[in-house]
């Protein structure tokens, strides 16, 4: 395993209980099967429904599944879901919640840059969501693995924080103040942290997509729909609605989400 990915795996294993408690605070994971929209941002669900009008009996892989909201939602829509994450402790929480929700999912611990446990051409849809690529040291390998496990004509759809949001000082709400260059990808590590983060450019994503053999179908850029984007890591609605107005918070005038749909030939 890539040593940076191994460091991030250990960090996620150590923090799994913190994230479990945070998600139990709002209990939104219980609503994912009945209200799938709670699991998605950036019009990602709309793109899934556009390119996969029915998910019944489709083989779907969620990579970097994390809190598994997307995995639960897609299973609720009828898909046969394989949930892949690098953290066994995160998957353990997801298994418990899946049992409570009476969902049957397949859980696999694997590095997204090396999906060896998954068979070639075995999925109709691969999906990843917000907060996945920030932990990835090798984006081209991830796209190559996605291409490998997709069936012919299968789709990869993902959304993540828009790269234009990454350079700014998040503590500054009234003005734009850069804390780093747009091209300063990483690895970034804050003092005292054991994990590493990466802030990729749009070109990094699209070039890796093209080089993997996938075909770009659609790219969307979306504004923040809720003040929570600027406030904390909860899925609960934000309390300061002024933060979604670019006249009060200049970063709200930039796209918040980058959403991409691609297809294997």
Angle at 11 between CA 8 and CA 17, to 5 degrees: 135
**CA-wise closest residue to 92 among 108, 80, 79, 103:** 108
pLDDT of residue 232: 66
Q: What is the pLDDT of residues 250-262, one digit of tens each?
A: 999 999 999 999 9
Residue ranges making up the domain that contains 148: 3-264
Q: CATH no. for residue 220?
A: 3.40.50.150
Q: What is the pLDDT of residues 21-43, one digit of tens each?
A: 988 988 999 999 999 999 999 99
Contact 146, 118 (CB under 8 A): no
**CA-wise closest residue to 115 among 94, 136, 146, 137:** 146
SS3 category, 196: coil
Q: What is the pTM assigned to this prediction? A: 0.94
The alpha carbons of the chain give a radius of gyration, in whole angstroms, of 18
Low-confidence ranges of the chain (pLDDT < 70): 232-236
Contact 233, 22 (CB under 8 A): yes
pLDDT of residue 44: 98
pLDDT of residue 1: 82
Counting Cα atoms < 13 Å in the Cβ hemisphere of 58 gives 27
**CA-wise closest residue to 114 among 6, 259, 260, 264:** 6
pLDDT of residue 234: 65
**CA-wise closest residue to 87 among 172, 1, 25, 153:** 1
């Amino acid at each position: 395993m890539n040593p940076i990915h191994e460091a991030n795996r250990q960090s996620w294993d150590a923090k799994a209980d913190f994230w479990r408690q945070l998600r139990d605070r709002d209990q939104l994971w219980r609503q994912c099967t009945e209200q799938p929209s709670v699991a998605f941002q950036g019009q990602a669900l709309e793109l899934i429904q556009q390119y996969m009008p029915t998910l019944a009996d489709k083989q779907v892989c969620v990579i970097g599944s994390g809190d598994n909201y997307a995995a639960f939602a897609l299973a609720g829509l009828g898909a046969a879901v394989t949930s892949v994450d690098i953290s066994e402790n995160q998957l353990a929480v997801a298994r418990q919640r899946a049992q409570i929700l009476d969902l049957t999912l397949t859980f696999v611990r694997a590095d997204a840059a090396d999906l060896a446990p998954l068979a070639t051409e075995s999925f109709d849809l691969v999906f990843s969501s917000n907060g996945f690529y920030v932990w990835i040291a090798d984006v081209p390998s991830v796209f190559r693995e996605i291409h490998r496990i997709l069936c012919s004509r299968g789709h990869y759809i993902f959304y993540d924080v828009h790269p234009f949001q990454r350079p700014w000082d998040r503590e500054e709400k009234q003005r734009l103040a850069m804390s780093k260059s747009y091209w300063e990808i990483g690895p970034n590590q804050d003092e005292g942290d054991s994990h590493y983060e990466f802030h990729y450019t749009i070109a990094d994503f699209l070039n890796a997509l093209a080089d993997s053999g996938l075909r770009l179908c659609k790219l969307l850029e979306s504004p923040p729909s809720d003040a929570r984007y600027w406030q904390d890591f909860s899925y609960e609605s934000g309390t300061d609605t002024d933060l979604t107005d670019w006249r009060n918070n200049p970063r709200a005038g930039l796209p918040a989400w980058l959403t991409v749909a691609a297809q294997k030939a």
